[in-house]
Amino acid sequence: VEDRTDVPAEDKPLPAAVKAKIMNLVPLRGQRIRVTGWVDRVGSLHPEHPQEQGQGNDAISILLRDGTGYLPAVLGGDLAKATDATNLKDETCVELIGTLRAKGTVVPKDLARDGHELVVDSWRVLGNAPGADKAFANRVNKTSPSTLADQRHLTLRQPTPSALLRLRAHTLAAFRATYAAPAHAVLEVTPPALVSTQVEGPGAELFWLADYYGVRGGACLTLSAQMYLETCLAGLGDVFCVQESFRAERSHTRRHLSEFTHLEAEIAFIDFDGLMTHIETVICETLEKLLADPTSTALLAQLNPGFTPPSRPFKRLPYTDAIAWLNARGITHRPKADDDAAGAGAPYVLGDEIDEAAERALVDDHGAPMFLYRFPASVRPFYMKQVPRAPGEGTVWTESCDLLMPGVGEVVGGSMRIADMGELLAAYEQHGVDPAPYYWYTDQRGYGSCEHGGYGLGVERFMAWLANRYTVRECSLYPRFPGRVTP
């Protein structure tokens, strides 16, 4: 019937509709398609084409959203007169069927996307959304951060949060592709989140489980998968993981979360210089992959239009030079409990941790990613490889580095690990760490120990840098920080 010329057009069956996601529509132009999604916005018609194709003034234009993109659509003629259509509210879930017309002209410019629009011939509501007081816009257009955080399940639908989370997914995929490339051949593993050793620092940062199979205080949530990754080297070669880490930090800063996504890698047969080069290479190759992908490029352009990838090599500044730089500029420790304010505290001396604000002052002045390296052992965990002490040298230095990014500060922390059994035993003692729970960590040094190093990258901090966000909270699906564990 479709091809017969003696049958009136309105009696011919419509061609079957192809089900498709919005991001895949370009090759389907001119065809009849079926799309499902949410009404992002109901708009008015383009003022220059109010009567186009028999669609009266009451034709309705819709911006449909399905998570992969946005599609303008128009309901004309009788379709626009039905109550379902005239009552259509933002965030209604719908199925639309119609012909995809290239060079959209009917929908207004602010709804136009990708140079095509859907001329709907049939549609249905799959899930209604309310209007009036309960309308979506009334739920999400709040200014108080805590009210907004309570509505995270709804605000995720908005353009900026959804773009950020999509870019985050593409970024993680690009990291994975970089590690998988034969030049790196770093294997992904999934270490445990329930652990019994603390890795990083004093017990204060740990989330202890009240009860683990009847044992009180028997387990805690992981701070870092590093030690587990180290155990993989001899069996699996170089490894990485993307794993949630948990820190019971009390600090309310714009770059600290209680739960964050930790991208960690451990590399064997590398030296300290090579480790920093590896970190910089992985980041730059990941950015190259991201920028070669049109979807990621568009998301990045939406979120951070000014982004230019950093050039290599990254600057490497010894810790001692950083302290001198801060002193020369009169940048002092922060006053207590104010992470964002520089100054008004004591001047920096060798052996101090560098505060968040001072770190940002350093890297913002440089204006590009930079390594700080060789921190004193006194402010670093016990597992870090120590630099042999020069005659007369008081401080013990470590082969450790932090990668700082403008606007954020520390995004990566890494180091060479102590490979020698005797040195490791001495380090436990130096740091007052009971070696008993670490028997498995120590054990490896007796079975073919090798020089190795690794690092952890905070995914939310990386995204805050990449997408130019003020806080890491925006870069997490459901951020957790002191006082916030809902939704």
435 exposed, middle or buried (CB, 10 Å; 0-12, 13-18, 19+)? middle
**90 CB-near residues (< 8 Å, 6+ apart):** 39, 40, 41, 42, 129, 135, 136, 137
Residue 310 DSSP SS3:
coil
The residue type of 213 is: Y
The least distance separating ligand 4AD from the CB of residue 354, rounded to whole angstroms, comes to 13
Spatial CA neighbour of 92 closest among 34, 135, 152, 150: 135
Closest CB to ligand 4AD among residues 69, 454? 454
Q: Is the CA virtual torsion 206, 212, 218, 224 positive or negative?
A: negative
Q: Which of 438, 454, 467, 469 binds ligand 4AD (CB under 6 A)?
A: 454
Stretch that binds ligand 4AD, among 2-10, 35-43, 406-414, 432-440 (CB under 6 A): 406-414
Question: Cβ of residue 281: shortest distance to ligand 4AD, in angstroms?
Answer: 17
User: Could you give the CA distance from residue 415 to residue 374 in angstroms, rounded to a whole number?
Assistant: 9
Q: Contact between 254 and ligand 4AD (CB under 6 A)?
A: no
Nearer to ligand 4AD (CB atom), residue 64 or residue 472: 472
The correct pick among 104, 161, 376, 456 for binding ligand 4AD (CB under 6 A) is 456
Instruction: Lay out the site mask for ligand 4AD across 194-213 (x = CB under 6 A, - = otherwise).
Output: -----xx-------------
- Residue for token pair 């520390």: 410
Coil/strand/helix, residue 454: strand
- CB 419 → ligand 4AD: shortest distance, Å? 15
Residue among 368, 454, 452 nearest 407 (CA): 368
**Does residue 358 interact with ligand 4AD by CB under 6 A?**
no
Only one of the segments 25-33, 96-104, 332-340, 448-456 lies at the binding site for ligand 4AD (rule: CB under 6 A); that segment is: 448-456
For residues 322 and 373, give the distance between their C-alpha atoms in angstroms, rounded to a whole number. 9
Shortest gap between Cβ of 44 and ligand 4AD (angstroms)?
Answer: 44
Strand partners, 127: 93
Nearer to ligand 4AD, 36 or 442 (CB): 442
Selected range binding ligand 4AD among 110-118, 133-141, 294-302, 409-417, rule: CB under 6 A: 409-417
Residue closer to ligand 4AD, measured from CB, 91 or 266: 266
Residue from 226, 286, 400, 444 binding ligand 4AD (CB under 6 A): 226
Separation between Cα atoms, residue 185 and residue 486, nearest integer Å:
39
- Cis preceding-peptide flag for 347 (omega within 30 of 0): no
Residue 411 near ligand 4AD by CB under 6 A: yes
Could you say whether residue 356 binds ligand 4AD (CB under 6 A)? Answer: no
Spatial CA neighbour of 63 closest among 101, 110, 123, 124: 110
Q: Per rule CB under 6 A, is residue 256 in the interface with ligand 4AD? A: yes
Among 460, 465, 474, 479, binds ligand 4AD (CB under 6 A): 460
Q: Judged by CB under 6 A, does residue 37 bind ligand 4AD?
A: no
Looking at the Cβ atoms of 59 and 267, the one nearer to ligand 4AD is 267
Residues 6-35 close enough to bind ligand 4AD by CB under 6 A: none
Report the C-alpha gap between 351 and 457 in whole angstroms.
24
The distance of closest approach from Cβ of residue 417 to ligand 4AD in the complex, given in angstroms and rounded to an integer, is 8
Cβ neighbours of residue 152 under 8 Å, at least 6 residues apart? Answer: 478, 487
251 within 8 A of 267, measured Cβ to Cβ: no
Task: Output the six-digit token pair for 5.
Answer: 């010329």
Q: What's the closest the beta carbon of residue 280 comes to ligand 4AD, in angstroms? A: 15
The encoded tokens of residue 40 equal: 């992002």
Which residues contact ligand 4AD by CB under 6 A?
199-200, 223-224, 226, 247, 249, 256-257, 260, 262, 264, 410-414, 454-458, 460-461, 472
